[in-house]
A and B are shown apart, each in its own frame.
Chain A
Amino acid sequence: MKTSSLVSQRTMAVVIISLVSAIAALLLIAFIQQPVHDNALREVVFANLDKTGVSNPVTAVLLNYRAFDTYLEFAVFLCVAVAVLPYVLDVQLPKQKLSAESQVLAIAKIFVPLSILMAGYLLWIGSTQPGGAFQAASLLAGCLVLLSLANVRTIDFSTARSRFLLSGGLLAFIVVNIVVFSQTFCFITLPQNIAGSLILFIEFFATFAVSASLFLCFESIHKGHL
């Protein structure tokens, strides 16, 4: 009995190892057979950069050339937020008073204002240099995580305001594109003269939406019931 189970285990191991090696070999062959990457798109991006309203090529691709992809990404974030929302809705709030200062709170008091400042800087600088909404959002989410670990109440996800916060990026994108479409009849194409400010408008709301979604994911595990 014992030997037969041992044998079947060994055959299973052989099957698994051969399958994994076969997939790895296929991936390697696919990787080698890929044509050499030519930077044809790079020249197109740089040639039309002055029409996008921003001078950072990454932001131009994310929010102007390929705005629809980013728009769908915001929608995915919203779906994730909706999926994990039930875990935090009827959780008891922390009863612990803040009078007894914890170590985490002492750290949070120093780092949270600095991180908020840095997030604002990253959001603003995103139009000319590396940075942007996602980086700022991850910094803000880090702040919220730190505050949550220090037992500070930050966002009450049962209120309607927090729902607007979570869907803010998508709403801003939809509103901007409906207004632009009603004026110019171009679908998801920002007019050249105000593209920069429209991108900043969308990024502003997207920052809060993404950071709230990321924080909600953390909170659903940290405070949520099992």
Chain B
Amino acid sequence: MAIDLWIDVILCLSVLFVASSIFLVKNTFSAIVLFICLGLVVMFCWIRLNAIDVAIAEAAIGSGLTGAMLIAAWRKLAFNESGDQPDEQKEKSE
């Protein structure tokens, strides 16, 4: 009983901690990685709530696929800021 309660308290606190640290970090990439971590922590919360199927969906879509999309978007952003490389390629292809 007491151990269960402590696990729940630690999970709640870690969700709040990870979620707030997403807004507090300056680096975009760290924020993305923290977002993926948040998805995994929330997955543990769903498991504690006995919702295994929601946990699977949260792990796969919430942190896996969304994380992949965010990292792909971050790569594009970094590419554009670093120089004119992509624009030149575009002109050549056209």
Interface residues of A (CB under 8 A from B): 58, 92, 122, 126, 130-132, 134-135, 138-139, 141-142, 145, 214, 217-218, 221-222, 225-226
Cβ A145 vs Cβ B65 within 8 A: yes
Interface size class of B (residues with CB under 8 A): 10 to 19
Q: Point out the residues of chain B lying under 8 angstroms from A130, CB to CB.
A: 51-53, 56
Grouping DSSP codes into helix (H, G, I), strand (E, B) and loop, the B interface class, with mixed when no group exceeds half, is helix
Grouping DSSP codes into helix (H, G, I), strand (E, B) and loop, the A interface class, with mixed when no group exceeds half, is helix
Cβ A135 vs Cβ B64 within 8 A: no
Cβ B72 vs Cβ A138 within 8 A: no
- What distance in Å separates the Cβ of B72 from its nearest Cβ neighbour in chain A? 4
Cβ B57 vs Cβ A135 within 8 A: yes
Within 8 A of A (CB), among B44-90: 51-53, 56-57, 60-61, 64-65, 68-69, 72-73, 76, 80, 86, 90
Please judge, given known A-B contacts A218-B68, A221-B72, A222-B72, whether A142 and B60 are in contact too, CB under 8 Å. yes
| CA of A142 to CA of B65, assembled, Å | 7
| CA of A226 to CA of B78, assembled, Å | 13
| CA of A122 to CA of B90, assembled, Å | 42
Q: Point out the residues of chain A lying under 8 angstroms from B86, CB to CB.
A: 226
| CA of A131 to CA of B93, assembled, Å | 45
Q: Point out the residues of chain A lying under 8 angstroms from B76, CB to CB.
A: 221, 226
- What distance in Å separates the Cβ of A143 from its nearest Cβ neighbour in chain B? 11
| Chain B, Cβ-Cβ closest to A58 | B53
Q: Point out the residues of chain A lying under 8 angstroms from B52, CB to CB.
A: 130
